[in-house]
């Protein structure tokens, strides 16, 4: 057991004068979640001890007495700003990573869900649609911010944690809508009331923040029933369904048409609305035979996935730019905020390309390494 030997736990509890009924309840609570492969959390103080983070700090977060997040706004190179990312304070980041590795990542998710899981990849997701004749591509609007703390609480409670611990875990994994300017607080009226701990009572619910380590795993688990619904719908139509975070893709090799595609979109939209989600209509795409079939940036019109021409060009242009003009000049031209950020960006693209088309990517990565060495960039390593 993650609380150690039950015998020693009971012996030490008795030595401290703990009632036998309390010890029985604590051990039963630990067994309930550990039977599901999850770490036992008996109280908020127990979590504080296990993570090495101050109890008073955690209590303040659960009581929503302060906002432990900073908003990071990333500006695209075209000047437009992306939706703010909520970055947790370092102590909360530590706790969330503990919850992720020992709890959230161990809650089962649907096999058609590919993001935020060890061993899954964009390539594996796209490969499910290889050879498709029709694609229907959908996007969920404000995916993370739509999920509220009630849903996270229910997830922890159904996993075996008692109600109070489930509430505390949910609060540690969500951000109060009252503290975030990029969400509409009117959508998060909750009036949460705890009969014992008055400071936990709040009139505003929290949401799953994009930027917290736990958010992806929790979103996957909460979306499980919808994944089941959409997978069943796809199988009934002899289609393939996948989800990568907020990107939903349906594909078919059967006789299909735009009318059936529109009917599918209406059905998916209805199911999403029933659970509080909504489609991003501007990002809905129907791709018929003869159309350019991209899934998560990869071409899927043949027997194997391939890099798109735009992706190859994007990588090659950056490598050639550094080769011809030098690292600093090219980074300035491309309007990146830092040399390190640019190097990591191109290196990430090459790592992605190596997973998809290793022959082409290996040649390009050798040129990239040589260009970096020529610019005295000695801290970079590429291990593919």
Can you give the pLDDT at residue 119? 81
Dist CA 96 CA 92 (whole Å):
6
On the question of pLDDT at 100 being above 90, the answer is: yes
Can you give the pLDDT at residue 382? 46
Q: How much is the average pLDDT of 69-96?
A: 82
Beta partners for residue 242, in sequence order: 249
| Nearest to 252, CA basis, from 288, 284, 226, 285 | 288
Can you give the pLDDT at residue 207? 95
Exposed (0-12), middle (13-18) or buried (19+): which is 272, by Cβ within 10 Å?
buried
Whether 224 and 112 have beta carbons less than 8 Å apart is answered as: no
Can you give the pLDDT at residue 195? 56
Can you give the pLDDT at residue 182? 83
Residues 344-372: tens digit of each pLDDT: 999 999 999 999 999 999 999 999 999 99
Residues 113-126: tens digit of each pLDDT: 999 988 888 999 99
On the question of pLDDT at 383 being above 60, the answer is: no
pLDDT tier, 18 (very low <50, low <70, confident <90, very high otherwise): confident
For the record, the structure tokens of 283 come out as: 């990002």
CATH 3.30.70.270 is right for the domain spanning 122-143+215-299: yes
| Nearest to 96, CA basis, from 137, 127, 128, 51 | 51
Dist CA 231 CA 223 (whole Å):
12
Q: DSSP letters along 270-330, please?
A: HHHHHTT--B-GGG-EEE-TTS--EETTEE-SSSS-EE-HHHHHHHHHHHHHHHHH-HHHH
Exposed (0-12), middle (13-18) or buried (19+): which is 365, by Cβ within 10 Å?
buried
pLDDT tier, 8 (very low <50, low <70, confident <90, very high otherwise): confident
Select the more confidently predicted residue: 247 or 79: 247
Whether 361 and 350 have beta carbons less than 8 Å apart is answered as: yes
Can you give the pLDDT at residue 13? 85
Exposed (0-12), middle (13-18) or buried (19+): which is 337, by Cβ within 10 Å?
exposed
Dist CA 281 CA 141 (whole Å):
9
Please give the C-alpha separations between residue 94 and each of 50, 91, 131, 172, 316, in angstroms, as whole numbers.
11, 5, 43, 11, 38
Can you give the pLDDT at residue 317? 96
% of the chain residues with pLDDT over 90: 75
Can you give the pLDDT at residue 192? 64
Can you give the pLDDT at residue 22? 86
On the question of pLDDT at 292 being above 50, the answer is: yes
Q: How much is the average pLDDT of 27-46?
A: 91
E strand or H helix at 243? strand 240-244
Count of alpha carbons within 13 Å of 56, Cβ hemisphere only? 0
Q: Is the C-alpha dihedral spanning 158, 159, 164, 169 positive or negative?
A: negative
% of the chain residues with pLDDT over 70: 93
Residues 152-183: tens digit of each pLDDT: 999 999 999 999 999 999 999 999 998 888 88
Residues 251-262: tens digit of each pLDDT: 999 999 999 999
Angle CA 295–73–321, to nearest 5: 60
Whether 152 and 144 have beta carbons less than 8 Å apart is answered as: no
Pick from 15-29, 127-141, 207-221: least confident? 15-29
Q: Is the C-alpha dihedral spanning 375, 376, 379, 383 positive or negative?
A: positive
Domain with CATH 3.30.70.270 in the chain: 122-143+215-299
- DSSP 3-state assignment of 115? coil
Q: How much is the average pLDDT of 301-312?
A: 93
Beta partners for residue 137, in sequence order: 249, 285
Task: Find the largest Cα–Cα distance for the chain.
Answer: 75
On the question of pLDDT at 381 being above 60, the answer is: no
CB atoms within 10 A of CB 378: 8
pLDDT tier, 312 (very low <50, low <70, confident <90, very high otherwise): very high
Q: Is the C-alpha dihedral spanning 160, 163, 166, 170 positive or negative?
A: positive
Pick from 31-40, 49-58, 68-77, 369-378: least confident? 68-77
């Amino acid at each position: 057991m993650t609380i150690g030997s039950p015998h020693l736990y009971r012996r030490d509890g008795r030595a401290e004068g703990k009632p036998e009924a309390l010890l029985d309840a604590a051990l039963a609570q630990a067994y309930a979640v550990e039977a599901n492969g999850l770490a036992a959390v008996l109280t908020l103080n127990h979590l504080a001890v296990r993570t090495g983070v101050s109890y008073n700090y955690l209590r303040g977060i659960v009581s929503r007495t302060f906002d432990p997040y900073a908003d990071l706004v990333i500006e695209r190179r075209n000047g437009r700003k992306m939706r703010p990312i909520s970055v947790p304070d370092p102590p909360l980041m530590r706790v969330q990573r503990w919850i992720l590795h020992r709890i959230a990542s161990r809650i089962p998710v649907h096999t058609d869900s590919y993001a935020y899981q060890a061993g899954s990849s964009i390539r594996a997701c796209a490969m499910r649609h290889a050879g498709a004749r029709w694609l229907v591509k959908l996007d969920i609007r404000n995916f993370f911010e739509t999920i509220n703390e009630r849903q996270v609480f229910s997830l922890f409670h159904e996993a075996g944690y008692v109600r109070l611990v489930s509430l505390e875990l949910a609060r540690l994994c969500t951000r109060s809508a009252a503290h975030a300017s990029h969400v509409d607080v009117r959508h998060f009226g909750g009036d949460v009331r705890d009969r014992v701990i008055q400071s936990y009572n709040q009139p505003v619910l929290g949401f799953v923040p994009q930027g917290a380590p736990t958010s992806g795993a929790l979103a996957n688990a909460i979306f499980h029933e919808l994944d089941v619904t959409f997978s069943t719908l796809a199988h009934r139509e002899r289609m393939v369904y996948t989800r990568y975070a907020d990107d939903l893709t349906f594909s078919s090799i059967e006789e299909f048409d735009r009318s059936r595609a529109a009917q599918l979109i209406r059905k998916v939209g209805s199911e999403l609305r029933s659970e509080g989600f909504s489609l991003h209509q501007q990002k809905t795409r129907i791709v018929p035979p003869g159309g350019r079939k991209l899934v998560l940036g990869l071409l899927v019109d043949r027997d194997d996935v391939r890099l798109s021409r735009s992706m190859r060009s994007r990588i090659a242009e950056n490598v050639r730019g550094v080769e011809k003009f030098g690292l600093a000049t090219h980074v300035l031209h491309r309007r990146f905020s830092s040399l390190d950020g640019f190097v990591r960006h191109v290196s990430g693209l090459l790592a992605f390309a190596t997973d998809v088309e290793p022959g082409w990517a290996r040649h390009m990565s050798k040129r990239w390494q040589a260009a970096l060495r020529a610019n005295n960039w000695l801290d970079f390593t590429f291990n593919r």
